[in-house]
Amino acid sequence: MADIEVLDRNDPLAPLRALFELPQGKVYLDGNSLGPLPTAARSRVEAVVQQQWGRDLIASWNSHDWIGLPVATGEKIAPLLGAAPGQVVCCDSISVNLFKLLATALQLRPGRPVILSQQDNFPTDLYMTQGMAALLGEKRCVARAVPADALMDAMDDQVAVLMLTQVNFRDGSLHDIEAITRAAHERGILVLWDLAHSAGVLPLELDSWQVDMAVGCGYKFLNGGPGAPAFIYLAARHQDRVSQPLCGWLGHAEPFAFEPGYRPAQGVASFLSGTPGIIGMAALNAALDVFDGVDMKQLRAKSLALTELFMTGVRAEPACADCVVLTPEEDRRRGSQVSLAHPQAWGIARALIEAGVVVDFRAPDVVRFGFAPLYNSYRDVAEAVAQLARILAADEHLQPRFSARTRVT
C-alpha cells in the first residue's frame, strides 16, 4: 500500500470531502448507515429554523415553498436514479412507502396475490409485506421470501411483484437490476427495488432498465441526516392506473380546497400522505447539492477502488487470516461496503471504533466497512486495514471491555 498518497493526490473526487464536516481524527466508514453532515445541510437547517420557522412562520409554506419541497426534493434525487422528471417524490420512511407501492403493485396485477422477496432482505421490507398480508388476508396477499438462489424458480404466475434490495445490507452483495427486472417482466411480474444502499453511490438507470417502482433512503449515501425522509419512484407508465391506500391530504389534487372526497394529485405526487417534516426534508434537499456536477460513473469507479483496496489489504495481512470476506470480489456483484465475518466480530467492531475507525456490527458475526467515495480517501482505507491488523495481532478485540454486547445500531 505504498502508493496511497498517489491515489489520493490523483483522485478527482478528493475535493468533495471538504463539503462535509467530518469529525477530526476519525476514519468514518459508516456512511452506509448514516452519512456525515454536509456543510450545506447545516446552513440550510439553521435558515429553516431561524428565518423560515422563527421569523416568517406560517407564510413560509408559500414564501419558502415548503409545500413544494417533497416534489422538489424528489426531482433533485431523480437524476441520481436515472429517472426523468415527474417520477420521484420525497416522503415518509422506506417502510411506509413500501406499503403504498406494494398495494399499488397488487392492484396492477389482480389475481396474483404473491409478493416475492429474498429471505435475507432488510427486515423492514419483509415485515411490511407481512403486515400487508395480515391486513388483506391470504386470498389477496401472500408474503413469500426465498433464498437468493431460489428467486428465479419462485417467479411463478401467482407473483404480482418481486421486491428486492439491490445491495444486501449484511454482505454488501449486489443484484443486477436490469437482468432481474427483465426476467420478472417476462413472467408478467412487476419489480419494486429498494435502493437504500444504492442511491447516491451506484449509477442507476431506472427508466432505461424499465423498473416499475422503487424506494430509497435519504440518510445513508444521500447524507440527508438522521432519519431523513425516504423517496418513492413510480414509473410514469403506471401513474394513471393506480391509487394508493395512504391517501392523505398532501396527495390530494387540491389540498387547500379541503374537499370531503379524495381526488388524487396528478402523477407521483399522489403518493404523498400527511404533512412532511420540513426541517429534516430541507436538510436532505441541501445535502443533495453535494452531487452537483458529480459523475456517478466516476463515483462508482472510486467506490470499487476503495472496496477493492480494502479487501486486498485485509487478505495481505497475516493478522487478518481469520476474517472471512463475505462481500463478492467481482466488481459487478459488489456494492459500496465490505463485510467481514469473524467469530469475535463484536469485539473487533468495538475496538475499531475505539481506535477511531467507525464501522458497525451486524448480528451474529459481521463487521461492516462502508466506503463513501464522496468523502472517504484511500488513506482512510489504509488506516482501516492497519488498525484492523493491529487489533487482531494484539488480541485487543478480546479485551474484557469489548466482551459485553450492549445495544448498538
In 286-364, beta strands by DSSP E: 324-325, 337-341, 357-358, 360-362
Are residues 276 and 69 in contact, defined by beta-carbon separation less than 8 angstroms? Answer: yes
Q: Are strands 324-325 and 230-234 parallel, antiparallel or unpaired?
A: unpaired
Report CA 385 to chain centroid distance, whole Å: 25
Nearest alpha carbon to residue 309 among 352, 353, 371: 371
Are residues 299 and 13 in contact, defined by beta-carbon separation less than 8 angstroms? Answer: yes
> Looking at 8-16, 46-54, 73-81, 298-306, which segment touches a copy of itself (CB under 8 A)?
46-54
40 binds a copy of itself (CB under 8 A): no
Are residues 212 and 251 in contact, defined by beta-carbon separation less than 8 angstroms? Answer: no
149 binds a copy of itself (CB under 8 A): no
**Could you say which residues in the range 262-281 bind a copy of itself, by CB under 8 A?**
262, 273-281
Nearer to a copy of itself by Cβ, of 266 and 275: the residue is: 275
Helix orientation angle between 39-47 and 278-287, rounded to the nearest 10 degrees: 150
Are residues 287 and 224 in contact, defined by beta-carbon separation less than 8 angstroms? Answer: yes
249 binds a copy of itself (CB under 8 A): yes
Nearer to a copy of itself by Cβ, of 85 and 274: the residue is: 274
404 binds a copy of itself (CB under 8 A): no
168 binds a copy of itself (CB under 8 A): no
407 binds a copy of itself (CB under 8 A): yes
- Cα-based distances in Å from 76 to 41, 71, 292, 390: 14, 9, 10, 43
Q: Is 125 annotated as a binding residue?
A: yes
Our answer to whether residue 221 is catalytic in this structure is no
261 binds a copy of itself (CB under 8 A): yes
119 binds a copy of itself (CB under 8 A): yes
User: Would you say how long the chain is, in residues?
Assistant: 409
Q: Smallest gap, in angstroms, from Cβ of residue 248 to a copy of itself?
A: 3
353 binds a copy of itself (CB under 8 A): yes
What gap in Å lies between CA 104 and CA 86, rounded to an integer? 17
147 binds a copy of itself (CB under 8 A): no
> Looking at 36-44, 290-298, 317-325, 375-383, which segment touches a copy of itself (CB under 8 A)?
36-44
146 binds a copy of itself (CB under 8 A): no
Our answer to whether residue 187 is catalytic in this structure is no
Q: Smallest gap, in angstroms, from Cβ of residue 24 to a copy of itself?
A: 9
Q: Is 219 annotated as a binding residue?
A: yes
Q: What are phi and psi of 117, to 5 degrees?
A: -145, -175
Catalytic residue among 194, 212, 360, 380: 194
If phi > 0 it is left, if psi is from -120 to 50 it is alpha, else beta; for residue 267 that is left
Number of residues forming the site for a copy of itself (CB under 8 A): 94
For residue 121, give every residue at least 6 positions away whose Cβ sits within 8 Å of its Cβ, in sequence order, or none.
145, 163, 164, 165, 168, 194
Q: Is 275 annotated as a binding residue?
A: yes
Are residues 178 and 60 in contact, defined by beta-carbon separation less than 8 angstroms? Answer: no
> Looking at 116-124, 159-167, 197-205, 290-298, which segment touches a copy of itself (CB under 8 A)?
116-124
**Could you say which residues in the range 197-226 bind a copy of itself, by CB under 8 A?**
219, 225-226
96 binds a copy of itself (CB under 8 A): yes
Our answer to whether residue 302 is catalytic in this structure is no
Q: Is 23 annotated as a binding residue?
A: no
- Cα Rg of the chain, angstroms: 22
Our answer to whether residue 220 is catalytic in this structure is yes
Task: Provide the annotated binding site.
Answer: 94-95, 122-125, 165, 194, 197, 219, 249, 275
Task: Provide the annotated binding site for pyridoxal 5'-phosphate.
Answer: 94-95, 122-125, 165, 194, 197, 219, 249, 275
Active site residues: 122, 194, 219-220, 368
